[in-house]
Amino acid sequence: MVLNEAEGVQYELFNISDLHEMAAMTAETFARYEPVTSSLGISLDGFGDFVKLLGPKV
């Protein structure tokens, strides 16, 4: 269910079926642009695995 849409981006509540896509997007954002994560050298795959680990608990 789409909650909101702005500038071509749809906002929805988290659904476990979207976990792999969400993990990839979150890893891309944090590993490349978030200062602490990028300075620690955390890889895209490593951060993606972390998101996948926590996803089912959300």
Q: What is the pTM of this model?
A: 0.72
DSSP code for 34? -
Give pLDDT, residue 58.
75
Distance CA 55, CA 38 (A): 21
User: Torsion angle of alpha carbons 6, 4, 58, 41, nearest 10°?
Assistant: 0
For every one of its 58 residues, what pLDDT tens digit does the chain have, with 9 covering 90 and above? 889 999 999 999 989 999 999 999 999 998 888 999 889 989 999 999 999 999 888 7
CB atoms within 10 A of CB 27: 22
